[in-house]
A and B are shown apart, each in its own frame.
Chain A
Amino acid sequence: MKATSNEQALLRGLAGNDSAIIEQLYKENFSTIQAFILANNGSYDDARDVFQEAMIALYEKAQSGSFVLTCQIKTYVYSVCRRLWLKKLQQMGRFSHPVDNLEETISVEDDLEQHAKHDAAYAIMDRALKSLGEPCKSLLEGYYLQKMDMQALAAEFGYTNSDNAKNQKYKCLMRLKKLFFAQYNIGE
C-alpha cells in the first residue's frame, strides 16, 4: 500500500521534530508494539526502548531526501520493532518462537543496517563530547544543540565579546573532531 498524503504529512512532521505530530505517531503505534514485546518475553521498559529506537530509524529515513515509504507507517514501525526485538532476544539467548498478531511485516534489513551505522556514529560522538570536558562540552552543546547565537553564548560563558566566543568554540570543535576521528573510521 502506498503511503497516503496524510501519512506523508506525518513523516514531514517527524522530520521537522514537530512534537504534536510525534505525539500522534506515538499514540497510534505504541500500544501495538507494547503488546508484541510483552507477548514475547519483554518488559514495559523493553517496549519503550525498542519503540523509540524504531521511531529514530523512521526519523532518519524521513530526513534523507531520497525517502519513499512504500507501506503504512504502522507496518513499517511494527516491522522495525519486530526485527530489533528478535535480534535483541537472540543476543540475550532468550530466543523463542515469535508470537505475532498476524500483522503485516515488510523487510527492513537494509534500513536497519543504515540505522546501526548512524547509531554507532551517534555513540562515538556522544563519548567524544563527554570526554571533552568543560567548558568545551557546554559551549558546543549550546551552539549545536540548543542553537544559541554567539552573542548569547558569550554572555552565558563570560567571554568579553562574540568573537572571543567564536574563537573558543572553534578550538573546542577542533578538539572534538580529533577525539571523534580517533574512533570513527571514514572508510566504513
Chain B
Amino acid sequence: MVVEHAMFLQQINDYSAIKSIKQTLAQTHQNLLERGEISNSETVSSSAKIVQLFHKYKKVASIAASVGGVIALFISGLALYLSPVSHNNQIQQLSNDIAAIKKSQQYQGKLINEVKSKLPAGVKFISGGSGFLIDAKGFIVTNAHVIKGTGAIVVDNNGKEYVAEIALIDQEKDLAILKIDDADFTSKKSLPYSIRKSTTDLGEEIFTLGYPRNEIVYGTGYLSARTGYEGDSLSYQLQMSANPGNSGAPVFDNAGEVIGVLSTREAQLEGVVFALKSNNIYKIVRDYNEMNDGGKDIKISTRSTISRMSRKKQISTLESCVYYVKSFDK
C-alpha cells in the first residue's frame, strides 16, 4: 500500500509537471506568434528558417554567398518558368511534348518530307501519343490530353499517315474519339479484339502496344489495384513500364480483350501506371452516338478472335490497329 501511494504521488507530480510544461509551451507559441517569429501560414514558407540560419551563421555569411544564392534562385525560377506545366506533379501524363522530343522530330521531319506529309502547310505539331481502333470504320480512341491541338493525323505501324478529325473530346474522363477522314484509308472488315464492358480483377496479366518512339513498342505487366491515383474509380493501377508517348495506348488482357486505356503514371514511383477502365469507352461512344443519331454510329465489337493465339501472333494481328497519334495546331 505504501508503495502504491508513493507511486500515486509520483504520478500526481508527473501530471502537474507535464501540465505546467504544456501551459508554458502554449504560452510560448502564442508569444512567438504575436511577435511574428513563427508563422501560422498553411503554405510552406522557409523565410523563418532563413532568418534563423542567417542569425546562426551571420559571421560566415558573405556577399559572395548571397550573390550565388540570387543566381541560383534566378536559374531555378527560370527553369521552373520554362518547364512545361503538368496538371498534377504527382502523376505524369504520358503524351509526348514537342520540346522534349525535338531531336527525334528533326529525324521525323525528314521522314515526313520523304513521304509527303499530310500535315497541312504552316501548322505546328504540338503533342503526340498512341491510339487504337474501336470500330473498323476508322474510329480511334485516345486520351484527351494527347489531343492538345485542333486536329490530328494518325500513323499506322507501317508509317502511313491518315488525316483524322476530332469527333469527341471528354476532358473529364480524359478520353477522345478521332475519326479517320482520309481517302487512302481502307476500313477493315472487323476488329480482332473486343472491348471489355465489366471490370477486371487484380493480378490479371496485361500487355500494351504503343508509340513512345516512332516505332511500335510492346510492354507487359499486371493489374495491381482496382482504383487509380488517390482512389480514382475511373481507372486501374498497373505495374508496368510506360513512357511519354504511351498515352492512349490500349491495355489488353491475355485473351486480347481491351481492358483499359493507358493514361498517366506516378512521377515519383517507378512502374506505377494508371489506365482508364474500358467501360469508359462505352460511355463516350454512347455520348457520341447520341450526338450523331443515324449514319455515323460507332459499333464496338464484343468478340475477340485472337484469344487462343500465341502472344506473337496476337501482337502481329493487333499491330495494325494501334496508331501513332500526332496532334497539330494551326
Residues of A within 8 A of B (CB): 17, 19, 22-23, 26-28, 30-32, 34-35, 38-39, 43-44, 48, 52, 55-56, 59-60, 63, 97, 118, 121-122, 125-126, 140, 144-145, 176-177, 180-181, 184, 186
Question: What distance in Å separates the Cβ of B243 from its nearest Cβ neighbour in chain A?
Answer: 22
Binds A, one of B4-12, B101-109, B300-308: B4-12
Asked if B14 lies at the interface with its beta carbon under 8 angstroms from chain A, I say yes
Asked if B115 lies at the interface with its beta carbon under 8 angstroms from chain A, I say no
B13 touches A144 (CB 8 A): yes
Question: What distance in Å separates the Cβ of B268 from its nearest Cβ neighbour in chain A?
Answer: 7
9 additional contacts (CB under 8 A) given A26-B28, A31-B38, A180-B8: A23-B31, A27-B32, A34-B38, A34-B48, A39-B44, A59-B21, A125-B12, A144-B13, A177-B5
16 A-B pairs with CB atoms under 8 Å apart are A17-B24, A22-B21, A32-B49, A35-B46, A44-B41, A52-B25, A55-B25, A56-B18, A59-B21, A97-B268, A122-B14, A144-B13, A145-B19, A177-B5, A181-B4, A184-B11
A121 touches B11 (CB 8 A): yes
A121 touches B44 (CB 8 A): no
Asked if B172 lies at the interface with its beta carbon under 8 angstroms from chain A, I say no
Interface residues of B in 24-79 (CB under 8 A from A): 24-29, 31-32, 37-46, 48-49, 52
A17 touches B21 (CB 8 A): yes
Contact A56-B11, Cβ < 8 Å, known A35-B44, A38-B44: no
| Distance between Cα atoms of A126 and B24 in the complex (Å) | 18
| Distance between Cα atoms of A140 and B11 in the complex (Å) | 13
Q: Tell me the dominant secondary structure on chain B's binding face.
A: helix
Total chain B interface residues with beta-carbon distance under 8 A? 39
| Distance between Cα atoms of A34 and B44 in the complex (Å) | 8
| Distance between Cα atoms of A39 and B49 in the complex (Å) | 15
Instruction: Please give me the residue from chain A that is nearest to B269 by CB atom.
Output: A97
Chain B positions within 8 Å of A30 at CB level: 29, 32, 38
Question: What distance in Å separates the Cβ of A169 from its nearest Cβ neighbour in chain B?
Answer: 12
Chain A positions within 8 Å of B5 at CB level: 177
Contact A27-B49, Cβ < 8 Å, known A17-B20, A38-B42, A121-B14: no
| Distance between Cα atoms of A144 and B14 in the complex (Å) | 10
| Distance between Cα atoms of A52 and B32 in the complex (Å) | 14
| Distance between Cα atoms of A118 and B19 in the complex (Å) | 12
Q: Which of B16, B29, B32, B45 contacts A145 (CB 8 A)?
A: B16
Contact A22-B24, Cβ < 8 Å, known A32-B49, A34-B38: yes
Q: Which of B32, B43, B49, B269 contacts A23 (CB 8 A)?
A: B32
